[in-house]
Chain A
Amino acid sequence: MLKIYQDKVILKPKAVIFDTDNTLYLYEVAHRAAMKSVMKKAENTLGISSQDFQEVFDLSRKEIKLQLGNTASSHSRLLYFQRAIEKLGMGTRIFLTLDLEQTYWREFLVNTRLFPGVKEFLQQLKSIGIKTANITDLTAQIQFRKIVYFGLDEYFDYVVTSEEAGCDKPNIEPFKMALNKLKTDPEDVWMIGDSPENDIYGAKSNFKMTTLQKIHKGVKVGSNQFAPDVSFDHYSELISLISDL
């Protein structure tokens, strides 16, 4: 259900910025299915049980994230798989690493679905001349692939990845870069995302954008400095909201 907080006056935006993962589609389901395939492959090629591989993968992921901080590379599956194989005592296996990464993203895409109403909402924004951008924390290569797979490549006017901005949200840079591309004042921009810390806080604290949080199972509405102006469950609610403004 759509909720507007603290009697915030919502005005029609001149531009809307979207987060990608968990905002346009549900990440966890696709990730789980992708990891299942990767573990099956690892089991066949390395002779290691799925559980053991998962443990090493999780550990490698933590290490890489700690090592690289809030950068695009810190999300790289390629690096996670490389480190996991190395931790298994097999040295750097370049072909296998590439193979696992390719398998991961292939299965990820197969099991990914846009939230209902996303395309219709973007179509509505285009039809009334509202500009759109996408800010996302990952490497450009895979985020572009996702957007093409979703068939949204013609819907976004601009895309900013953390690879391009040099750091992840909630740092100021990705937002600044998106606003520069959109050439729009932050007060006239809506930021739609699922993460209170990265999307809502990032857009609100430095730029005073109107923030909208996508709510679904496992996502709680942010509070205090992380509180959004609007929360919603379904994109059809945003379609109605824009129509009424």
Chain B
Amino acid sequence: MYQTSRTLGVTWSDLIRDRLFVAGLVIKLILIFAFIPTIQTEWFVPFIVDAIENPSFSPWSSFISSDKDILAFPYGPIMLLAHLPTTFLGWVIDSATGANYFSGLGFRLSLLGADMLLLILLLQQFESRWRGLLIHYWLSPLVLLITYWHGQTDLIPIVLFMTSIILLKKNKLMLSGMILAASVAAKHSMLITMPFILIYSWFKRNNIKDVYRFVLYFLLVFLLFEGLFLFDYGFQQMVLSNREAEKVFWLAISMGDLLKVYILPLVYLLLVYLTWRLRRINFELLLATLGVAFSVLILLTPAPPGWFLWLTPILALHYSRGNGNAVLLGSLFSLAFVMYHSIYSTGAKIAFFDNLSLSMNIINLSDMPYIQSLLNTAIIGLVMVITLQVFRDGIKGSDYYHLGKKPLVIGISGADNSGKLNFVEALTGLFGKNKVLTISGENYFNWDKYSPMWQTITTSNPRASNIFLMISDLRKIISGEWIKRRGYNRDTGLFSTEKIHRGHQVIIVSGLHALHTKQLIEIHDVKFFLSNKDDNQKSVNNVDFEKYIQPQQKSADIIFEAQTKSNKNIDLTIRIRNGVYYQELFRVLIGICGLQMEVIELDEYGNVELIVQGDIQSGDIRLAANVITPNLSEFIDQESGFHGGTIGVMQLVALMEIDEVLKRRRAAA
């Protein structure tokens, strides 16, 4: 079955019917109602209740002015706001009944809300791993222990962070920057994700202005949330001087009496650099990279249990791939983690049984410190191995990585008036202008339009163009160098001044001789030849056309022969060399898009000739592209990149061919 991403509401309506979800929800509700985590009763809830009972501009200053624990709430205003509504409702019930239970219950319910929202976001993005995510995230012992037993609140910034990167994936820059600011304003440690998100944003859009815009929205909203608090004494003491920040400098190599090299910042910077060197990352690889970043933080500091929660969605995605080894290692990690924190961390009390604390010195192991160290070693070792797996699988599964090694080079040849320019524009729109470098064969004409030489030679003759220079330029660009080249103005027929051109993710080479010579053919990853059903006869009469242009069809992967006079009623013949995917194309175009299609010929080498007729809207092409080339969905402009009609069908076929090329690259890597 084909699948494309659905809305959160539709995902939710399926989720509430799922038995695993209901089972997990019941377990979590029992934990919420029955157990009261110690850190919440001692720290978090008293702080929020104090903020409710003593409203002031700065709840932090108000709190410490009454000599209360400075460690009670080391979080920003968004964390406070996230917990405030439900805690307030609980506080109202407590006040009315004289109980001391419902404020805490309200606090815990907001965590359950964040937990569910995170699950829905993960399921929406990775619907094919539905069951795996329910098992490895929703029923994860780590989430149960850290959130519902130990009482940590990190799910709030994590769900905000996940929302932010999903919005970024959908190119909603402004909202993404704002939500990321909210995530950091909930917990400042989330700032460590910023460099990776900026790199992802840059690779995705290839537009520095978009990155600036993202940073601007982030800063504006962050300052809106925290600007005034930064000058507040209570906020400075409780949040900014938080003891967690000192852990960054915990591990160091001493270089003499005064000088040290801090290991965590060093490894972190190396990781940022390595991510930059990947050159292209898709959403899943971004998550894998962030998993490594979180792990580095955990491995190189005495991390509190809440930090492990950052890893849980990424680990759940990793386990849900169905790799038995990964699940085994994950189970061992969960076991070691649960054992360690059951013994050595604070736990919870049973509600309404004040004297019955389940804080966790179940067995007195204080005289056996080596057991604690051994368990810690097991946790660290397993996190290391799993993180390596996550990163390896993320890179392996990313088509972007294979695209990052070398740009995708598309060659488009064909007769005059065959629609090359329209096709180039359609492909450019599909990938986004910022990601595409177009090289037109006209730039390499030896003479401008007014040269008398055109009286003796036609444009179809390769001697009229400097093809050697074109090949040389292409080779330079592919290897990462820049070139300086003049352009050709179609309107005036004159050459423009030289401009610098640099490599992009996609290079489209179009022109009468784009598939002429072995060198050019070898350079192109995907090769198209276009001809026009209307003008065929005229072109055939041209001797140079027959000699130099028409033979290029033999080198093309795909030949489009279109009736371009009417863009609405499609009349397109497609010849695909080794068209392994033609059946899939056939099913989607007929079944989903409602077009008429016929297989004219299928030869013994798998070469296939198809005829497509009918009418189609751009929305149907987008749907078809998302169901048959889902790996490319991040690579293309979903909003305005797709066309309807003949050009739309050509876009779809081109995407299938490109998908095939990327798969071959991945297999060969």
C-alpha spacing A33/B7, complex, angstroms: 8
Q: A183 an interface residue at 8 Å Cβ cutoff? A: no
Name the B residues within 8 Å of A26 (CB-CB). 13-14
Q: Which residue of A lies closest to B7 (CB)?
A: A33
C-alpha spacing A211/B61, complex, angstroms: 70
CB distance from A88 to the nearest CB of B (A): 22
Q: Are A111 and B619 in contact (CB under 8 A)?
A: no
Q: Which residue of B lies closest to A145 (CB)?
A: B591
Q: Which residue of B lies closest to A146 (CB)?
A: B591
Name the B residues within 8 Å of A29 (CB-CB). 10, 13-14
Which residues of chain B from 611 to 669 have a CB within 8 Å of any chain A CB? Answer: 617, 619-620, 623, 627
Q: B587 an interface residue at 8 Å Cβ cutoff? A: yes
Name the A residues within 8 Å of B14 (CB-CB). 26, 29, 113
Q: Are B1 and A153 in contact (CB under 8 A)?
A: no
Q: Are A141 and B623 in contact (CB under 8 A)?
A: no
For this complex, 8 residue pairs linking A to B, each with C-beta atoms less than 8 Å apart, are: A33-B6, A106-B619, A111-B6, A113-B14, A148-B591, A148-B592, A149-B627, A217-B17
Q: Are B6 and A110 in contact (CB under 8 A)?
A: yes
**Complex partner residue of B619 from A103, A113, A114, A153, CB under 8 angstroms:** A103
C-alpha spacing A133/B619, complex, angstroms: 32
Q: Which residue of B lies closest to A33 (CB)?
A: B10
For the complex with contacts A148-B590, A148-B592, A149-B627, 18 further pairs of A-B residues with Cβ separation under 8 Å are A30-B10, A33-B9, A102-B617, A102-B619, A106-B619, A106-B620, A109-B623, A110-B6, A110-B623, A111-B7, A113-B3, A144-B591, A145-B594, A147-B591, A149-B1, A149-B2, A149-B592, A153-B591
Q: Which residue of A lies closest to B1 (CB)?
A: A151
Q: Which residue of A lies closest to B5 (CB)?
A: A110
C-alpha spacing A216/B4, complex, angstroms: 24
Q: A55 an interface residue at 8 Å Cβ cutoff? A: no
CB distance from A205 to the nearest CB of B (A): 31
Name the B residues within 8 Å of A144 (CB-CB). 591
C-alpha spacing A34/B593, complex, angstroms: 16
Contact with B along A93-111 (1 / 0, CB 8 A): 0000001001100100111
Q: Are B1 and A119 in contact (CB under 8 A)?
A: yes
Which residues of chain B from 589 to 606 have a CB within 8 Å of any chain A CB? Answer: 590-592, 594
Which residues of chain A from 1 to 50 have a CB within 8 Å of any chain B CB? Answer: 26, 29-30, 33
Q: A156 an interface residue at 8 Å Cβ cutoff? A: no
Name the A residues within 8 Å of B623 (CB-CB). 106, 109-110
Name the A residues within 8 Å of B13 (CB-CB). 26, 29
C-alpha spacing A111/B31, complex, angstroms: 34
Name the A residues within 8 Å of B2 (CB-CB). 149, 151
Q: Are A110 and B4 in contact (CB under 8 A)?
A: yes
Q: Are A145 and B1 in contact (CB under 8 A)?
A: no
Q: A150 an interface residue at 8 Å Cβ cutoff? A: yes
Name the B residues within 8 Å of A149 (CB-CB). 1-2, 591-592, 627
**Complex partner residue of A216 from B7, B9, B10, B17, CB under 8 angstroms:** B17
Which residues of chain B from 472 to 522 have a CB within 8 Å of any chain A CB? Answer: none
C-alpha spacing A54/B513, complex, angstroms: 56
Which residues of chain A from 106 to 125 have a CB within 8 Å of any chain B CB? Answer: 106, 109-111, 113-114, 119
- The 3 A-B residue pairs with the shortest CB-CB distance, nearest first, are A148-B591, A151-B1, A29-B13
Interface size class of chain B, counting residues whose CB lies under 8 Å from the partner chain: 20 to 34
Contact with A along B143-158 (1 / 0, CB 8 A): 0000000000000000
Which residues of chain B from 1 to 40 have a CB within 8 Å of any chain A CB? Answer: 1-4, 6-7, 9-10, 13-14, 17
CB distance from A33 to the nearest CB of B (A): 5
Which residues of chain A from 140 to 172 have a CB within 8 Å of any chain B CB? Answer: 141, 144-145, 147-153
Name the B residues within 8 Å of A113 (CB-CB). 1, 3, 6, 14
Q: Which residue of B lies closest to A119 (CB)?
A: B1
CB distance from B15 to the nearest CB of A (A): 11
C-alpha spacing A152/B591, complex, angstroms: 11
C-alpha spacing A150/B620, complex, angstroms: 16
**Residues on A facing B (Cβ under 8 Å):** 26, 29-30, 33, 99, 102-103, 106, 109-111, 113-114, 119, 141, 144-145, 147-153, 216-217
Name the B residues within 8 Å of A102 (CB-CB). 617, 619-620
C-alpha spacing A210/B186, complex, angstroms: 59
Name the B residues within 8 Å of A30 (CB-CB). 10
C-alpha spacing A110/B1, complex, angstroms: 11
Name the B residues within 8 Å of A114 (CB-CB). 1
C-alpha spacing A102/B618, complex, angstroms: 11
CB distance from A81 to the nearest CB of B (A): 15
C-alpha spacing A217/B19, complex, angstroms: 13
Q: Are B592 and A109 in contact (CB under 8 A)?
A: yes
Q: Which residue of A lies closest to B622 (CB)?
A: A106
CB distance from A89 to the nearest CB of B (A): 26
CB distance from B306 to the nearest CB of A (A): 34
CB distance from A112 to the nearest CB of B (A): 9
Q: Which residue of A lies closest to B4 (CB)?
A: A110
Q: Are B587 and A153 in contact (CB under 8 A)?
A: yes
Name the B residues within 8 Å of A106 (CB-CB). 619-620, 623
C-alpha spacing A150/B17, complex, angstroms: 20
Q: Which residue of B lies closest to A102 (CB)?
A: B617
Q: Which residue of A lies closest to B18 (CB)?
A: A116
CB distance from B133 to the nearest CB of A (A): 14
Name the A residues within 8 Å of B10 (CB-CB). 29-30, 33, 111
Name the B residues within 8 Å of A103 (CB-CB). 619
C-alpha spacing A238/B3, complex, angstroms: 25
Name the A residues within 8 Å of B6 (CB-CB). 33, 110-111, 113
**Complex partner residue of A145 from B592, B617, B619, B627, CB under 8 angstroms:** B592
Q: Which residue of A lies closest to B627 (CB)?
A: A149
Q: Which residue of B lies closest to A30 (CB)?
A: B10
Name the A residues within 8 Å of B3 (CB-CB). 113
Q: Are B617 and A99 in contact (CB under 8 A)?
A: yes
CB distance from B664 to the nearest CB of A (A): 24
C-alpha spacing A41/B152, complex, angstroms: 45
Name the A residues within 8 Å of B620 (CB-CB). 102, 106
Name the B residues within 8 Å of A217 (CB-CB). 17
C-alpha spacing A26/B10, complex, angstroms: 11
Q: Which residue of A lies closest to B620 (CB)?
A: A106
CB distance from B281 to the nearest CB of A (A): 26
C-alpha spacing A165/B473, complex, angstroms: 65
CB distance from A123 to the nearest CB of B (A): 13
Name the B residues within 8 Å of A152 (CB-CB). 1
CB distance from B239 to the nearest CB of A (A): 42
Name the B residues within 8 Å of A99 (CB-CB). 617
Name the B residues within 8 Å of A111 (CB-CB). 6-7, 10
Q: Which residue of A lies closest to B16 (CB)?
A: A217
Q: Which residue of B lies closest to A148 (CB)?
A: B591
CB distance from A215 to the nearest CB of B (A): 11
C-alpha spacing A139/B330, complex, angstroms: 50
Q: Which residue of A lies closest to B127 (CB)?
A: A113
Q: Which residue of A lies closest to B587 (CB)?
A: A148
**Complex partner residue of B1 from A33, A141, A150, A216, CB under 8 angstroms:** A150
Q: Which residue of B lies closest to A144 (CB)?
A: B591
CB distance from B584 to the nearest CB of A (A): 10
Name the B residues within 8 Å of A150 (CB-CB). 1
Q: Which residue of A lies closest to B6 (CB)?
A: A111
C-alpha spacing A55/B280, complex, angstroms: 49
C-alpha spacing A150/B590, complex, angstroms: 14
C-alpha spacing A207/B10, complex, angstroms: 38
Name the A residues within 8 Å of B587 (CB-CB). 148, 153
Name the A residues within 8 Å of B9 (CB-CB). 33
Which residues of chain B from 540 to 599 have a CB within 8 Å of any chain A CB? Answer: 587, 590-592, 594
Name the A residues within 8 Å of B7 (CB-CB). 33, 111
Name the B residues within 8 Å of A153 (CB-CB). 587, 591
Q: Which residue of B lies closest to A114 (CB)?
A: B1
Name the A residues within 8 Å of B592 (CB-CB). 109, 145, 148-149
Q: Are B4 and A141 in contact (CB under 8 A)?
A: no
CB distance from A68 to the nearest CB of B (A): 23
C-alpha spacing A102/B9, complex, angstroms: 22
